Amino acid sequence: MIEVNQLTKRYARHEAVRGITFSVDRGEIVGFLGPNGAGKTTTLRMLTGYLPPTSGSASIAGFDIFRQSIEARRKIGYMPENVPLYDDMRVREYLRFRAQLKGLGNGDTRRRVNEVIDTCGLAGVRRKMIKTLSKGYRQRVGLADALVHDPELLILDEPTNGLDPNQIRQIRELIRHLAQNHTVLISTHILSEVEMICNRVVIIDTGLIKANDSPANLIGQMRAAGRVQVEIQADPEVAGGALARLDRVKKVTPEALDEGWTRFTVWVDSGTDARERIFNLANQYGWPLRSLFRHEATLEDVFVELTRRD
């Protein structure tokens, strides 16, 4: 569905995007991630025809986005980070206007507007002025706008920006539903959402692709140390020293709690589970132990490892 080859965008002496190459297959939900200034938005703007590239190529559904721009754009439904809406129009009126701008005839406009209103949960507000809508409903109107011409590809830039947890959950379920009939490319900072709904993740930093794999594979390949937290009632210096001498332990950090308890964070080599050895150590010294758990790596840990500057 998307083919990007050595795509570059240069502004004077600054290269915002530096020869990136990746693809998105039909039916995939792909998370496009990166820190601020990494080149995400620039890439999305090039893919949607808003910006010309300095060099390289890209195609949408087989259409070159620069030589066959009109055909490629017909295949794309784009929802930008800050959805531009006409506040003085009613929801249904706005969607009809947008459908006609995108070339739909009268019959198709009526049909598609009704469909996207139902799909995006806008039936209860279809006659309301857009300026009266909550942030959550405004996002839904933006998504309905992206869908109204029934594109094969949806490109969503921060679709849950500014939403509360309940609204985020609703948009997440809606994206899952849409993925049954559309390819979806999502740019977002909410990594837990990406981990839950995306088949694959592309991470960009300083204009370069740093990772391109499934969330599970990226987490499994992490080089960063794992960690175990344990709460022990013992002398912090004695217990800390004993924990630090365990095999494959990299670092131990204590945190004083109430009534003589100390919480130790034990940093261990990647892929190491030290819980059994820590439990046996506490038994050996007769230390009371009330909590012991292993921190499971997340996509956020992967993101930080790949993009941190230290």
Q: Once rounded to an integer, what is the mean pLDDT over residues 62-76?
A: 91
Higher pLDDT, 7 or 37: 7
Which homologous superfamily does the CATH classification assign to the domain defined by 2-220? P-loop containing nucleotide triphosphate hydrolases (3.40.50.300)
Question: Does the pLDDT at position 274 exceed 70?
Answer: yes
pTM: 0.79
User: For residue 167, what pLDDT is reported?
Assistant: 79
Question: What is the band of 28 on the pLDDT scale with cuts at 50, 70, 90?
Answer: very high
Helices (H), the chain: 40-47, 69-74, 91-101, 106-119, 135-147, 165-178, 191-197, 215-220, 236-244, 275-285, 299-307
Distance CA(179)–CA(29), nearest Å, equals 7
Class of domain 226-307: alpha beta
Q: 218: which residues sit within 8 A by CB, 6+ positions away?
A: 201, 211, 299, 302
Phi/psi zone of residue 301: left (φ > 0), alpha (ψ -120 to 50 degrees), beta? alpha
- pLDDT tens for 196-250 read 889 899 999 999 999 999 888 887 776 556 789 999 999 999 999 999 999 988 8
Percent of the chain with pLDDT over 70: 97
- pLDDT tens for 99-128 read 999 999 999 999 999 999 998 889 999 999
User: For residue 232, what pLDDT is reported?
Assistant: 94
Break the chain into its structural domains and give their ranges: 2-220, 226-307
Instruction: Dig out the tokens for 289 from the structure.
Output: 């132990």
Higher pLDDT, 2 or 307: 2
Higher pLDDT, 43 or 272: 43
Question: Does the pLDDT at position 154 exceed 90?
Answer: yes
Q: E strand or H helix at 270, and its extent?
A: none
